[in-house]
Amino acid sequence: MPTTYPKNLYSPEVYRECLERIEKLTPDSQPQWGKMNVAQMLAHCAEIIEVANGKPLTNTPWYVKFFKGAIRRMVLSDRPYPKSTKTHPQYLQTTDHDFTTEKARLLKALAEYVAKDRETAEQIIHPLLGKMSYEEKGWAMYKHLNHHLEQFGV
């Protein structure tokens, strides 16, 4: 795993870039891969950030816990995520969602995420990935969000 990361969601410039990209999404945005529509993707990303903010992660299958070290290495590596990677059951989005509602939910979760100072952020232990540094957290959340923004061409 790298010791320095290319981007960090805690960086004001990177956060602003992500917000600008989210604003380019519309209810009609189409994925370049995968099964989720844009509202489902927003709900998925919001759920990921909410868990990073301290929301419980429930019903983790035993085999996911068994592979948590490998999952952590994949999350923190500088390699992009493979397209259409399987996700934790809590993050899976299969029902219809409202674009406006889910966009607002994601923006709220992101604002709460970046508002944390280093000490507060590092005190939140991720239920699957474990204890992470401020830099690791900033990279992990950026990498995931970037993956899905690229999925929708923004």
Per residue in 96-130, pLDDT (tens digit) is 999 999 999 999 999 999 999 999 999 999 999 99
Average pLDDT, the chain: 95
Choose among 130, 149, 114: nearest CA to 44: 149
Q: What pLDDT is recorded for position 86?
A: 87
Where do the structural domains in the chain lie, given as residue ranges? 12-151
CA distances from 8 to 70, 73, 124, 134, 152 (A): 21, 17, 17, 9, 21
Of 11, 7, 91, 10, nearest to 45 by C-alpha is 91
Q: What is the mean pLDDT of residues 125-150?
A: 97
Percent of the chain predicted with pLDDT > 90: 93
**For residue 69, is pLDDT > 80?**
yes
pLDDT at 138 over 90: yes
Span 15-38, mean pLDDT?
A: 97
Could you tell me the pTM of the whole model? 0.95
